[in-house]
Structure 1
Amino acid sequence: MTDVQGRTAFITGGANGIGLGIARAMAKAGANVALADLDAAALDAAKAELATTTGVETFVLDVRDRDGFARAADAVEARLGPVSLLFNNAGVAGGAPVAQMGYAMWDWGIGINLGGVINGVETFVPRMVARGAGGHVVNTASGAGLVATDSGVLYTTAKFAVVGMAEALQRELQGAGIGVSVLCPGPVATNIVKRTHSLRPAREQPLSAEQTRAVEARLDATTAWLQQGVPSDRVGEMVLDAVRANRLFIHTDRIVADLLEARHQALLAAFAALD
């Protein structure tokens, strides 16, 4: 069990959505919080809110920027103390059909959704191990990191990797007293789809006017679907509970449960070919 009170948490994507929900839960539980995000205005608003509860520092950070990560780590540890709670939460949604995607979009999606997690781990975990004071790492994946859904090849590829990374990290870090969890949410009431759509690189093959209208309609429908999901503050509470209990998997709903069971049955059934 990890007691978060008095510890320092570093949360990427911490000014919006799930990241802000995690920050609120950690602050209420007595942790200092450092928030990293690309949205400077949202960081200012989050700091104003949370500073009434706990110590807060904010950093404008692209999680693909390794030097920026190192600078933020040095700064937060000088101001708030050693980071022993790490939340690699920043992520982007969507992608494009493979035939229209191109390398730029692959690099963008993998760079943020997987590379950002790698950069967070590489920046903070060696420090945590060297201090010998334990801690906890939470990586945000998705239900789409457990079983393929309609989330697209790019997103699914990155999130499957994040799940596997968390499982391997748990095995490696348990001897150091560092817990590991992987958050695999279903729909959460955030604006991630529209927020990240404006940031992504252009498709390799430009869309026609009709295709553009279809994409915009899908964005609207997906955003509306997400708004019916679990509130981000509730997800933050789930994450806090998992850290305290040192649970590996964190689910927010049962939406992929049947699909996951079918996948596992298919995997096991494939061994019959060896008989």
Structure 2
Amino acid sequence: MTTDRVLTDFEGRTAFVTGGARGIGRGIVKALLRRGARVGVADISVDALEQLREDLGADTGRLGCYQLDVADRAQYAEAASAVQAELGDVTLLFNNAGVIDSVSPTKLSYAMWDHVMGINLEGVYNGVQSFLPGMIASEQRCHIVNTSSEAGLLEAGSGFLYHASKYAVVGLSEALRRELAHFQIGVSVLFPGPVATDIVQNTRGLRPTSAPAQSSRVTQILDTAHEVLKAQGASPDAVGELVLDGVETDAAYIATRSELLPYLRLRTEAVGAAMTHADEFLACQSTRA
């Protein structure tokens, strides 16, 4: 890290946070407001937005609330125009909205693929496409944070749809970070472990009516996740501060715990072993030829 890549001037800036009325998003919103930023908060739940405005009444002069389905491109464009008109040009973007859902491989469903990818992956891209042109044109250093998950680093039984969406967010973020660096735009990817949020209950409320019934395995995954998040989850407010620390230092990666490190090392070793085997195997084939 070099000093010219440090961002500390939050006061007076405009930030946009999706999934911002609840959970990690709410923690990020509160951290931004403490630093003097103007914050556009997007959430699919009108009730959650109203509750946020009520809870943060003292800061509502710097708070704009927007009901938004991040998978809806037209709706996203309208929200982006509204926040720009009401709060100013967005230079800090937090693509945080997400669901933790999947289906059994025995119940493959285009509806569920579109639902999970629409929120977890396309919702991130919709945010990038909506605000990146303005960031490129800005004279200020800008920053984007995309929320993935520990499930974007390692397959751990969270369901193939969820893993696929979160792995994709990692690749998107890493590539954008490299390609946007010379525009003075930082990109971080967030890997939350357990955080004390209601994401499981919120996910269940958003499940399409056309989706196949959840298998007993997927139901168990979600039930267990809900219990773990409530019992062992980190504070959303603390994670919000951690995220802004990552913005301030232009961190490529923001994690909320270290428990996965041994398993990540095992995965890296297995990939490395496959590459070594390929070199040896192909060399042997070459000598035979």
Structure 1 and Structure 2 fold alike (TM over 0.5): yes
Deviation at 1:221, TM superposition (A): 2.8
Cα gap change, 1:206 to 1:181, in 2 (>3 Å): closer
Is 1:165 paired with 2:172? yes
Cα gap change, 1:11 to 1:217, in 2 (>3 Å): same
CA deviations 1:180-229 (Å, max 9, x no partner) are 1000011111110121112112576546xxx66x7655533321101111
Is 1:113 paired with 2:113? no
Cα gap change, 1:128 to 1:28, in 2 (>3 Å): same
Deviation at 1:96, TM superposition (A): 1.3
| Aligned 8 A contact 2:121 2:168 in 1 | yes
Which stretch shifts more, 22-31 or 48-57? Answer: 48-57
Query: Please, what is the CA RMSD of the aligned residues?
Result: 1.7
Q: Secondary structure at the match of 2:208?
A: coil
Is 1:70 paired with 2:70? no
Match of 1:131 in 2: 138
Q: Secondary structure at the match of 1:190?
A: coil
Is 1:101 paired with 2:108? yes
Match of 2:270 in 1: 266
Deviation at 1:257, TM superposition (A): 1.4
| Aligned 8 A contact 1:188 1:229 in 2 | yes
Is 1:34 paired with 2:37? no
| Aligned 8 A contact 1:101 1:204 in 2 | no
| Aligned 8 A contact 1:95 1:101 in 2 | no
Letter of the 1:244 counterpart:
E
Larger Rg: 2
- The 5 Å alignment of 1:181-200 reads 181-200=188-207
Match of 2:229 in 1: 226
- Return the match for 2:49 from 37, 43, 49: 43
CA distance in 2, matches of 1:32, 1:221: 37
CA distance in 2, matches of 1:200, 1:132: 41
Match of 2:239 in 1: 235
Return the TM-score normalized by structure 1: 0.93
| Aligned 8 A contact 2:26 2:237 in 1 | yes
Is 1:57 paired with 2:64? yes
Cα gap change, 1:48 to 1:149, in 2 (>3 Å): same
Cα gap change, 1:176 to 1:51, in 2 (>3 Å): farther
Which stretch shifts more, 192-201 or 216-225? Answer: 216-225
- The 5 Å alignment of 1:140-219 reads 140-202=147-209, 205-206=212-213, 218-219=221-222
Identity among equivalent positions (%) equals: 46
Letter of the 1:226 counterpart:
L
Paired positions, count: 271
| Aligned 8 A contact 2:19 2:41 in 1 | yes
Match of 2:287 in 1: none
**Gap regions ≥5 residues in structure 2:** 1-5, 281-289
Return the TM-score normalized by structure 2: 0.89
| Aligned 8 A contact 2:41 2:65 in 1 | yes
